[in-house]
Amino acid sequence: MNASRGASRVVALVPAAGQGVRLGESRPKAFVPVGGIPMLRLAIDGLLASESVDEVVVIVPADLLDETRALLPVSPIPVRVVPGGAERTDSVRAGLDATPAATHVLVHDAARALTPPDLVSRVVEQLRSGSVAVVPALPVTDTIKSVDAAGAVTGTPDRSALRAIQTPQGFDAELLRAAHATGVQATDDAGLVELLGAVVHTVPGAAMAFKITTPLDLVLANTLVAQREPGPNESREAVPAP
């Protein structure tokens, strides 16, 4: 089982306190249903199914605390809900403040709702083998170009040296706390620890861990959920209608 491996305590933070509605839906993204289940719930189910985390802390807008608690799975692994802050970094910091006993912290996007549990395990295993920061990475298939403000191409980086980075991102808890104590705002937690000079290791990512960002992503995610069998933590009947 997950708990009590030595003195280690792996806590997964799921920042979902943004009001972002880029999907074109009327709800904050994490609460948009995929296959009838809120993305946030699917993301939590994946973390729990990995059997690699000892606790999950979900960070949501203050006015959605009760709604969030109502959609949580029944689980022997504690899942807590805390209010977020103005920026994503503030929300992650609120999650860190709620978990003083964590030795390792995962930060996971609710929008990566279909992340396979074995990807979560891969990140945790890499942390346990001594890495202080771990990110799932996939090779880039498109050619990537840099452009200037007018859209003119300024360069073509070597694609073989590029990776698309997913979540969960895993960290030694002390390192992540130090990174967040700098007060720098970032879209990515690994970016913060890179600024401290820490080495960030990659593990192989997973296509199913794609981020549901656009309406097309939502169509794909709905199709994929419709095709799969519910996992052990996914009792669809237990989820109230959104």
Question: Residue with the closest Cβ to ligand C5P?
Answer: 18
Q: Per CB under 6 A, does 85 bind ligand C5P?
A: yes
Count of residues near ligand C5P by CB under 6 A: 17
Terminal C-alpha separation, the chain: 33
> Shortest distance, CB of residue 32 to ligand C5P, whole angstroms?
11
Per CB under 6 A, the list member of 86, 153, 161, 199 interacting with ligand C5P is: 86
> Shortest distance, CB of residue 83 to ligand C5P, whole angstroms?
10
Q: Is 24 left (phi over 0), alpha (psi -120 to 50) or beta?
A: left
Output 9 or 112, the one with its CB closest to ligand C5P. Answer: 112
Residue 5 CB burial class (10 angstroms; 0-12, 13-18, ≥19)? middle
Per CB under 6 A, the list member of 10, 17, 57, 107 interacting with ligand C5P is: 17
Output 17 or 209, the one with its CB closest to ligand C5P. Answer: 17
Output 2 or 12, the one with its CB closest to ligand C5P. Answer: 12
Q: Per CB under 6 A, does 25 bind ligand C5P?
A: no
> Shortest distance, CB of residue 152 to ligand C5P, whole angstroms?
27
Nearest 5°: phi and psi at 129? -85, 5
> Shortest distance, CB of residue 17 to ligand C5P, whole angstroms?
3
Q: Are 201 and 178 in contact (CB under 8 A)?
A: no
Q: Per CB under 6 A, does 46 bind ligand C5P?
A: no
Output 41 or 131, the one with its CB closest to ligand C5P. Answer: 41
Per CB under 6 A, the list member of 2, 50, 68, 91 interacting with ligand C5P is: 91
Subset of 95-154 contacting ligand C5P (CB under 6 A): 109-111
Q: Per CB under 6 A, does 87 bind ligand C5P?
A: yes
Q: Per CB under 6 A, does 189 bind ligand C5P?
A: no
Q: Are 50 and 10 in contact (CB under 8 A)?
A: no
Report the interface residues with ligand C5P, using CB under 6 A: 15-18, 20, 30, 59, 84-88, 91, 109-111, 187
